[in-house]
Structure 1
Amino acid sequence: MSLDLSSVIAATTQWLIRAYPAADGAMNAALAEAQARQAVTLATLLRYATPTDCPLAPLAGPDGSFRLDWLVDAEPYEISGPDGVWRTWVDEVVASWAAALLTCSTLASQAVAALGDCEHGDGSPGEWRRLTAPDALDCRAAPLLRHPDLMALVVDLHRPQLVERLRRLHSDDQTPTSAV
């Protein structure tokens, strides 16, 4: 993965764990962050699926967390403030896709399978276990991140595009013109 996307992954992960905090305790916080990071990484790999997409992402610029903050009724932030800098790197589509992956392990399994068809598909399915087969500890650590009703507003923003992307990646015709 391109280092160009590391800022998007870090910021979007940070937004998810702040908007949907972990259960109390350091271990829960670490497990929740690991789950959010896996979901955001997978969503980023699917969204920016080609080598051409990766360098273009920072040039076009992510949309920031303003709309997401408004959706979850978070406090507004100042772009010039300390929180404003990282929030500008939040990718709304990636956050929505990650939320969908966190709340539906079936969709997460389909995404992991589709990742093998992408340019980035070099990992094994076991690397994504926290998404595809979360255990009781994972679910207890991140009850808000895994709650379909609480995450619905964020999921619904771009879930249809995720489903379409997965459908295209699973299709037999993988030519560049079929992805348009």
Structure 2
Amino acid sequence: MQADLSPVIAATTQWLTGAYPASGGALACALCEVQARQAVTVAARLRYPTPMDVALLGVAGPGGSARLDWITGADGTAPADPDGDAWRTWVDEVVASWAACLLTDPELAALAVAALADGDAAAGTSEGTPVEFRRLLAPDEQDRRAAALLRHPDLAAPVAALHHAQLVDRMNPGQALVA
């Protein structure tokens, strides 16, 4: 199923690393991208947990980056090559918001990865184990420096706040609905 999410994961990761770039050279960029990709992967798998959800995403599309660009102030520049920004149509706003939440809140990240691991264990697979998400869950000092902007709670707050409540609701599915 993750392969079907790959366009959304790739585009949303690219958007996050463009909005909150690494500083410090090629290694820092790679470490920042890995952390963003891990957070986006967890968020995408939580948002689209079933093959039917993924299929509907393929039909309806994820929505694009327009609102995210507006929130972060990146909407004022016209692209030199409109076709070069076609990837932006595969950015999922909710996934980007959830990933920002996970990157800035270690406890929520641990809960999200545990939820994936529980779901995968119930499905009989071993994908989604916490080892797969080490840089998200237990970043070392070099990881933190590389993704300082991406993990900064104040800087990421406008994006994280967009759909934070939905992520918290997803983490607490057993609560009864009140009419």
8 A contact 2:40–2:96 mirrored in 1: yes
% of aligned pairs identical?
A: 58
Partner amino acid, structure 2, of 1:147: H
Corresponding residue number in structure 2 for 1:124? 129
Question: Closer, same or farther in 2 for the Cα pair 1:25/1:172, shift >3 Å?
Answer: same
Deviation at 1:115, TM superposition (A): 0.6
- Residue 35 (structure 1) shift: 0.3
Report the aligned-residue RMSD: 2.1
Q: Report if the CA contact (8 A) 2:66-2:75 is conserved.
A: no
8 Å CA contact 1:103, 1:146 repeated in 2: yes
* Partner in structure 2 of residue 156 of structure 1: 161
Hey, what's the Cα distance between the residues in 2 that align with 1:60 and 1:103? 29
1:10, 1:22 → 2: CA distance? Answer: 17
Q: Which runs of 5+ in 1 are unaligned?
A: none
**TM-score, length-scaled by structure 2:** 0.89
Question: What are the within-5 Å matches in structure 2 for residues 1-180 of structure 1?
Answer: 1-76=1-76, 77=78, 81-118=82-119, 122-168=127-173, 171=174
Worse overlay, 67-76 or 117-126: 117-126
Q: CA deviation at 1:123?
A: 2.7
> Does the residue aligned with 1:157 lie in a helix, a strand or coil?
coil
Instruction: Give the Cα separation in 1 of the matches to 2:84 and 2:175.
Output: 44
Are 1:50 and 1:118, in contact at CA under 8 Å, matched by a contact in 2?
no
Q: For 2:150 and 2:9, locate their aligned partners in 1 and report how far apart those are by CA, in whole Å.
A: 16
Counterparts of 1:159 and 1:172, CA distance in 2: 17
TM-score scaled by length of structure 1: 0.88
Q: Deviations over 1:121-176 (max 9, x none)?
A: 633211111111111111000110000000000000001000100111xx499xxx
Letter in 2 for 1:90: V
Q: 1:14 to 1:92 in 2, by over 3 A?
A: same
Secondary structure in 2 matching 1:116: helix
> Aligned residues, how many?
172
Cα distance in structure 1, aligned partners of 2:98 and 2:175 = 23
Superposition deviation, residue 2 in structure 1: 4.1
Look up the equivalent residue of 1:31 and give its one-letter code: L
- Aligned-partner Cα distance in 1 for 2:83–2:53: 29
Instruction: Check 1:162–1:125 CA distance in 2 against 1; reply closer, same or farther (3 A cut).
Output: same
CA distance in 1, matches of 2:22, 2:85: 22
In structure 2, stretches of 5+ residues that fail to align are: none
99-108 or 117-126: bigger deviation: 117-126
Contact 1:96 1:156 (C-alpha < 8 Å) held by counterparts:
yes
Deviations 1:14-44 (A, max 9, x none): 0000000001200000000000000000000
Q: Which runs of 4+ in 1 moved over 3 A?
A: 75-78
